[in-house]
Amino acid sequence: MKYYVAGGTFAFIGAVVILMVMSALEPARMESFTQSYESRRIEEGAAIYESSCRPCHGPQGGGTPLGPALNRANLFNGDYLNAIGWSGTLADFLSSTVASGRPLPTIGTDFPQRMPTWSESFGGPLRIDQVENVVSFILNWGERAVVGIEPTETTDDLMMGSDIFVELPEGDVAAGQVLAEQTLGCTACHTLTAVGPSWEAADGLPGMGVRGGIRIQQDNYTGNATSSDQYLIESVVETNIHIVEGFQPNIMPNDFGERVTLQDMADLLAFLKTFE
C-alpha cells in the first residue's frame, strides 16, 4: 500500500514536471516547426512549378518566349508592382496571378499565349494551398534575383555554341531523352502541345529523326545544313535561321547553344534520331 501511494505520487509529480518542461520548450518547438513548414511549402511549390509552370517560365524561372522571367530583380524590388499600380504585397500579387491567370496581355509584353487560371476556384487544377506553395517557391528567388544570379554550375565540358559542323562525341539515347523530356523540356512544345512542330511522324512527314533530309531539299530552306543530322543540330542552336512553314520566329529560345554541352547535343541528337 505504501509503495503504491509513493509510486502514484511520484508518477503524478513526474507528470507535472514533464508538463512544465514541455511548456518551457513549446515556443521554440512551434517556431521550429513553422520554419520547416515554410520550407516544405517551397519544396512542394518547386515540384508543382517543375510540372506546371516550367514549360512557359523556364526551368529556373528565367523565362521563355512563352512566358516572362520570374526571377527578375524588378519583380522583387517593387518597381514592377509600382509600374502596374498594384497596391498589395508581392505575395498577394503572385497568388492572385497564379490563381486567376491573365485574361489580357500585360501592357508592353508580346507573349503568344495568356496565362491560364490555376486555382480550383477558377477552373484550374490546383488547390488553394498548392497555389500558396507555388507562391512560396517564386518568392524564394528574391534573394538571388535582387543581387543578380550567380552561375553556380561549373563544368569542364565544352559548350555547344552555334557551329553545326562541329564533331560530336558518341551520343546516348537515354540521356538524350532525359534532356528532351526533363532537363530542357523540349517535349512540352514538340510532343505534348503543338506550339512547335511535332517530332512524331504525321501528315505524310516522317519522324523528326529523318525529316531534316526532306527539309534541306526544299526550295524555301534558308539554313546551312547539308545533312539530316546537321539540320537537327541547327534547329536546336540556330532556331531562327529557318522557320518551318506555319510557325513564327522567336517562339523557340535561341540560346540552347549556350546551355548545352557537346555531349548533351550528341545525346539529344541520338534521341531525336529514334523518331523515324
Partner 1 sequence: MRIPRPKILSLPFLDDIEEKGVVKASTDLADDVVTRVTSGLNITDIRGVLRGDPAVRPNPRLTPHAEGFWLHMKPTYYNNLMDGLYPTFRLGWLATFFLVWETLTGLYLMIFYTPSPLVAYENMLNILSNVPFGRWMRDTHKLGGELMVLVVVFHMVRTYITGSYKRPRQFTWATGGILLILTLFVSFFGYLLPWDQLSLWAVTIGASTAEATPFIGREADLLMRGGPEIGANGLLRAYLIHVILIPIIMFIFLGIHYYKVILHGHSLPPGVEEPGVDTARKVPMNVRTYFMPKILTRELVYVAGLTLIMLVASAFTLGYHAPLEPHADNLVTPLHTTSPWYFLWIQGMMKLGDKFIFGALIPFGIVFGTIVAWPYIEVGRNRRYGKRRIGLSIAASSIVLAAILTYMGTPWFGVETSPDQEAIAILLPQTSPGPLRLADWNDIPFGTYSASEWESAPTRTTSKLLKMFDRELDHARDNPIYGDVEGFMVVEDWQSDLKKITVRVVWVDPETGTPGEFSEIFFFHRDSDYGQGE
> Cα 156 to the chain's mean position, in Å?
24
CB nearer partner 1, residue 114 or residue 127: 127
* Phi-psi label, residue 143: left if phi above 0, alpha if psi -120 to 50, beta otherwise: alpha
Asked whether position 79 contacts partner 1 by CB under 8 A, the answer is no
CB nearer partner 1, residue 6 or residue 194: 6
Asked whether position 20 contacts partner 1 by CB under 8 A, the answer is no
- Burial level of 63, CB count in 10 A (0-12/13-18/19+)? middle
Asked whether position 69 contacts partner 1 by CB under 8 A, the answer is no
Residue from 110, 129, 219, 245 binding partner 1 (CB under 8 A): 129
Map residues 28-57 to x or -, x wherever contact with partner 1 holds by CB under 8 A.
-xx-xxxxxxxxx-xxx-xx--x-------
Q: Rg for the chain (alpha carbons), in Å?
A: 27
For the chain, where are the alpha helices, taking DSSP H only? Answer: 2-48, 54-57, 73-76, 79-84, 90-100, 128-139, 142-147, 173-178, 187-190, 208-215, 228-237, 256-259, 262-272
Asked whether position 266 contacts partner 1 by CB under 8 A, the answer is no
Query: How far lies 202's CA from each of 197, 205, 211, 239, 276, in Å?
Result: 10, 5, 11, 22, 10
CA angle, 236 then 60 then 74, to 5°:
115
C-alpha cell, 202: 504525321
CB nearer partner 1, residue 3 or residue 87: 3
64, 58 Cβ separation under 8 angstroms: yes
Q: Which residues inside 150-179 make contact with partner 1, applying CB under 8 A?
A: 152-153, 173-174, 177-178
**DSSP letter, residue 64:** B
From the list 4-12, 92-100, 160-168, 222-230, the region that binds partner 1 by CB under 8 A is 4-12
Residue from 74, 86, 144, 241 binding partner 1 (CB under 8 A): 144
Minimum CB distance to partner 1, residue 265 (Å): 18
Q: Which of 133, 121, 142 is nearest to 49 (CA)?
A: 133
Minimum CB distance to partner 1, residue 23 (Å): 7
Number of residues that bind partner 1 (CB under 8 A): 53
CA distance 147 to 167: 38
From the list 1-9, 80-88, 185-193, 224-232, the region that binds partner 1 by CB under 8 A is 1-9
Q: What does the longest C-alpha to C-alpha distance in the chain come to?
A: 106
Asked whether position 76 contacts partner 1 by CB under 8 A, the answer is no
CB nearer partner 1, residue 128 or residue 158: 128
Map residues 183-222 to x or -, x wherever contact with partner 1 holds by CB under 8 A.
----------------------------------------
Question: Measured between alpha carbons, how far apart are the two ends of the chain, in Å?
Answer: 89
Residues found near partner 1 in the complex (CB under 8 A)? 1-2, 4-5, 7-9, 11-12, 14-15, 18-19, 21-23, 25-26, 29-30, 32-40, 42-44, 46-47, 50, 60, 127-130, 137, 140-144, 152-153, 173-174, 177-178, 182
